[in-house]
């Protein structure tokens, strides 16, 4: 999961009035209490160029998420009927003024005009803000880094930025069913825009999508996303229309894609049923961010909030155990560890529903 950081926006970007000014606030911490029943509004946003789960397998995804939420958090989650929409329709809710402001946050890997120093500095800022220790970070990431023994968080951030950009180039060679690149000229792969949807008139708490989300940006880059080559599986971001002050989006692409690049980062092939079950369990990880504002206990393999290494979802699933990692057992597992942040000026700029 990635979160926007005000300090980085001011320190590193600071180019336009819309980006460098504005009052950034953390949303109130009011986590759901164990034993509660919650209802989430769900949409399925699809790109017709990419493989997608069938309605039956989407039901497996949601049922698996319900079971995992109950086992690990003692919460019963109800989902609305799944609303079907297109990626283009979904992106249309982003207010044009805010979309223009967020362009400066994107590392433009498609044209090769990104600033590598700013990328590494942004990763370092995210690690520092979240109080990630070098020891915890290396427990999680060391096997996948070109430099397995960085001396400090800045060295680690530089190493992460290097592997991120190298693997992101690999993803550019993956093709869709129509023979064209999965990452095309459209903005749909850009995490920054997904992170911005909640400023518009978004009517969902949870968006499942078959869209491949792989990109680089100057803020909010998480360790697990970097070592995958900028691939985002899921994120919990601010949403002004949600009672939880945030919404979840999750890509099913890493579970269904059969390209060699994905298979190398994943622990083997999945049947459609297994892919749906694992996607649902991983969705519970994001719902943990949504309802409790939990963080990432990197390297703590029993914790459902520990991200999957690379795309090894089956390995991740077989290791999680709620009894060994209950809420409150670590700083990252305490409610309010990472509250969603939002720009009050941007909220004022957007029309109310």
Asked if residue 247 has pLDDT above 90, the reply is yes
Task: Average the pLDDT over 219-240 and give the result.
Answer: 94
Parse the chain into domains and list their residue ranges: 35-108+166-215+232-349
* pLDDT for res 9: 36
Residue 94: band (very low, low, confident or very high) from pLDDT cuts 50, 70, 90? very high
Task: Average the pLDDT over 267-292 and give the result.
Answer: 96
Compute the distance between CA of residue 124 and CA of residue 97 in angstroms, rounded to an integer: 28
Q: Which residues contact 106 (CB under 8 A, 6 or more apart)?
A: 190, 192, 215, 216, 217, 218
* pLDDT for res 29: 67
Asked if residue 271 has pLDDT above 60, the reply is yes
Task: Average the pLDDT over 279-305 and give the result.
Answer: 96
Q: Vertex 339, ends 28 and 295: CA angle to 5°?
A: 145
Task: Average the pLDDT over 212-223 and give the result.
Answer: 94
Asked if residue 6 has pLDDT above 50, the reply is no
Q: Which residues contact 270 (CB under 8 A, 6 or more apart)?
A: 255, 278, 313, 314
**The dihedral formed by the CA atoms of 42, 308, 56 and 181, expressed in degrees to the nearest 10:** 90
* pLDDT for res 5: 38
Spatial strand order in the sheet of 234-238:
83-86, 42-46, 206-209, 246-251, 234-238
Segment (H or E) for 94: none
User: Are the C-beta atoms of residues 334 and 328 closer than 8 Å to each other?
Assistant: yes
**Interval 28-63: pLDDT, tens:** 767 788 789 999 999 999 999 999 999 999 999 999
Residue 161 structure tokens = 């930025």
Q: Vertex 338, ends 336 and 341: CA angle to 5°?
A: 105
- Rounded to 5, what percent of the chain is helix, strand, coil? 45, 15, 45
Residue 1: band (very low, low, confident or very high) from pLDDT cuts 50, 70, 90? low
Q: Vertex 129, ends 125 and 132: CA angle to 5°?
A: 95
Q: How many CA atoms lie within 13 A of 159 on its CB side?
A: 21
Asked if residue 353 has pLDDT above 70, the reply is no
* pLDDT for res 145: 86
Asked if residue 295 has pLDDT above 70, the reply is yes
81-85, 139-143, 182-186: least confident range: 139-143
Asked if residue 283 has pLDDT above 90, the reply is yes
pTM: predicted TM-score of the whole model, two decimal places: 0.90
Segment (H or E) for 83: strand 83-86
Residue 351: band (very low, low, confident or very high) from pLDDT cuts 50, 70, 90? low
Task: Average the pLDDT over 250-259 and give the result.
Answer: 96
Given the candidates 2.60.120, 3.40.50, 3.40.390, 1.20.120, the CATH classification of the domain at 35-108+166-215+232-349 is 3.40.390
Q: Give percent of the chain above pLDDT 90.
A: 76
Residue 130 structure tokens = 């979240």
CB atoms within 10 A of CB 269: 10
The 3-state secondary structure of 180-237, one letter per residue? CECCCCCCCCCHHHHCCHHHCCCCCCEEEECCCCECCECCCCCHHHHHCCCECCEEEE
* pLDDT for res 148: 67
């Amino acid at each position: 999961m990635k979160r926007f950081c005000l300090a980085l926006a001011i320190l590193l970007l600071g180019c336009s009035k819309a980006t460098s000014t504005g009052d950034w606030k953390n949303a109130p911490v009011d986590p759901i209490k164990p034993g509660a029943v919650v209802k989430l509004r769900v949409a399925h946003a699809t790109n017709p160029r990419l493989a997608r789960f069938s309605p039956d397998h989407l039901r497996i995804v949601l049922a698996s998420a319900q079971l995992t939420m109950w086992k690990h958090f003692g919460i019963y989650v109800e989902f609305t009927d799944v609303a079907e929409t297109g990626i283009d329709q979904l992106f249309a809710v982003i207010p044009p003024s805010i979309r223009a402001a967020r362009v400066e946050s994107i590392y433009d890997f498609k044209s090769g005009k990104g600033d590598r120093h700013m990328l590494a500095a942004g990763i370092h800022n995210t690690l520092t803000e979240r109080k990630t220790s070098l020891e915890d970070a290396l427990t999680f990431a060391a096997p996948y880094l070109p430099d397995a023994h960085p001396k400090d968080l800045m060295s680690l951030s530089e190493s992460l930025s290097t592997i991120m950009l190298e693997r992101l180039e690999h993803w550019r060679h993956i093709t869709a069913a129509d023979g064209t690149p999965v990452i095309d000229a459209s903005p749909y792969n850009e995490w920054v825009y997904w992170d911005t949807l909640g400023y518009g008139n978004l009517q969902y708490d949870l968006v499942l999508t078959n869209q491949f989300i792989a990109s680089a940006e100057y803020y909010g880059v998480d360790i697990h996303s970097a070592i995958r080559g900028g691939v985002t599986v899921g994120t919990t971001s601010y949403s002004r229309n949600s009672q939880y002050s945030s919404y979840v989006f999750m890509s099913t692409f890493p579970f269904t894609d059969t390209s060699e690049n994905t298979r190398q980062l994943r622990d083997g092939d999945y049947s459609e049923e297994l892919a749906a079950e694992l996607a649902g369990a991983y969705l519970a990880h994001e719902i943990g961010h949504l309802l409790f504002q939990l963080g990432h206990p990197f390297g703590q393999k029993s914790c459902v909030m520990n991200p999957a290494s690379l795309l090894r979802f089956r390995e991740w699933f077989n290791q999680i155990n709620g009894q060994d990692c209950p809420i409150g057992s670590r700083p990252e597992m305490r409610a309010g560890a990472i509250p969603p942040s939002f720009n009050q000026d941007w909220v004022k700029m957007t029309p109310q529903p």
